[in-house]
Amino acid sequence: MRYFSLFVIVLILAGCNTKPQIEPVDLSAVETTIAARLDEFHKVMQDKDLTAYKSFLTEDGLFCGTDPEELWGKESVVALMEKSFADSTIMFKYSVEQRKIRVSSDGNSATTLEQFIVAWISEKMTLRLVSHLVKIENDWKIDFFSWSLVPNNDDMAKLNEALAD
């Protein structure tokens, strides 16, 4: 009986000390998948495909425009994009000039930075899109993005002068 009790204690201790096996994630492959997903997102923007646009966003996301007042949930940003897509004077023609992707160590989320020039917004100032994507089931969705205009440091004095009261 004594050996049996010792055996049970050893089994209990061994069971309590097991660590779950974490399968390694091929971060490079995840980054490639996310880059392709972002390319799809920009194609949807350029094609003005509202249905496809909606499919990229999580229901509870936060989406920020270039103006400090532009903080939207999914419903609001989709309504704005519906108006923008319907406006024939707005052309979403651009190409991504720079992209950085940082994948989380577990491969289930990523932060991205993309930069481009969008002529109808500004021909001289870079537009920067910072996004956060999450893997939901087998799909990548955007749960956060923030658009911003990024002037060159050399242009700051001119901008400040132009904005002076």
> Is 149 contained in some domain?
yes
Residue 37's CATH number: 3.10.450.50
pLDDT tens digits, residue range 23-52? 788 889 999 999 999 999 999 999 999 999
- Calculate the average pLDDT of the chain: 89
Q: How many domains does the chain have?
A: 1
The closest of 106, 142, 118 to 34, measured between CA atoms, is 142
> Is 70 contained in some domain?
yes
> Is 131 contained in some domain?
yes
> Is 8 contained in some domain?
no
Does this model's pTM top 0.75? yes
> Is 7 contained in some domain?
no
pLDDT tens digits, residue range 54-108? 999 999 999 999 999 999 999 999 999 999 999 999 888 889 999 999 999 999 9
Q: In whole angstroms, what is the distance from residue 73 CA to residue 79 CA?
A: 10
> Is 33 contained in some domain?
yes
> Is 110 contained in some domain?
yes
Q: In whole angstroms, what is the distance from residue 104 CA to residue 67 CA?
A: 29
Q: In whole angstroms, what is the distance from residue 147 CA to residue 81 CA?
A: 14
Q: What is the pLDDT of residue 21?
A: 62
Q: Which residue segment(s) compose the domain that 33 sits in?
A: 24-163
> Is 136 contained in some domain?
yes
